[in-house]
Structure 1
């Protein structure tokens, strides 16, 4: 007679912690107080670029049609409540934007902020963009060795850098300096910048640097 198979003890985990990461990330959007709508807001508050419906649906583990319907409902709700922000689908993706009626307030805030001096981090990031443009956010971060999301937002807000396209392979947004940047430095073109480029890593080395920093 064969012996009965021992049942797993309550709360037991897989050997060597296998599957622990999956269990930690597992969730059910329905368990959140605000459901799908609040979960979408949480994700959209941390993105810097428009996110597709498919990507949002994957993150929430919800059907794409349900996510699209929830996005439309959020947009309509913001309009009905006369909130200072709105949700728009631009370039195939969704992102939060300030409502155009409040442009004068936003403009004054941005212009007031331009009176402050740039921080060392902003100056370093601006230099990398100036010499390596067009360059992606990840490559700028690879050169500086730190996250540059907030700094780039500041430079965008001050009109010193702008989006100039997308990388053909990674689709990452590429950044470059603006005419306002040249005006502030008294230059006619980027070609008049001092010869600093030779002291920066070559472009084809930046991905290796980035990989090393994540190791």
Structure 2
């Protein structure tokens, strides 16, 4: 008898891809010309299950822009911008909100600036610089100097018993010299706080020769000046300002209080010594050498 021939598989319909076996062995090979089968819903479910905690249902990852995304601090869904700001959560892409720039200080008119300057000058206990006044009032520094000049000129023109003038690098109100006797009588009330002649001479040497050592001061005056210098230091008129490079002796100079008491802006305003020197000063200097 002739064996029956095996039945041929039905021909595939045009456009339909033949499904691959569910599990292929290690020796199995793809047939030439066969197209890979498209993944089914069951395959997608198995891949989703392989990612722990991943929920990609309905996620559209094609063309997603993840540059700069901050996934650690992800905000809860539906959070409003005000809620995010209150919780301190950064916005999208991890960017923090920029605080608005502070508003500039209002510019005072001339009358307000004059009043503010006068109020400050009435309470200061030492000369105050123009830069400090500008910082306190939050006004341009170039306005402070001319305003103070106008105030000083106004006091002088009105004939007040006080005046505004520069001293020790700043500005301060002072009583006028013509009323000094009345002020002295009121403040001192019979007390004497004048410096001795030795203290005045030593202070003058330091003022014109500063910085200067004790030995140099004593050589100029011809007597020991240690006690007088201690008195001037205790009064706040003289201070130490380092040491001499060669001998290591202390150097002394006048203080800001010295300038304030004399009504000077700097030591450069001291009067010249030439008119007070004797005519034969050079001969005297040669004789002492």
- For the aligned pair, the TM-score class normalised by the smaller chain equals 0.3 to 0.5
TM-score by length of 1: 0.43
Structure with greater helix percent: 1
TM-score by length of 2: 0.33
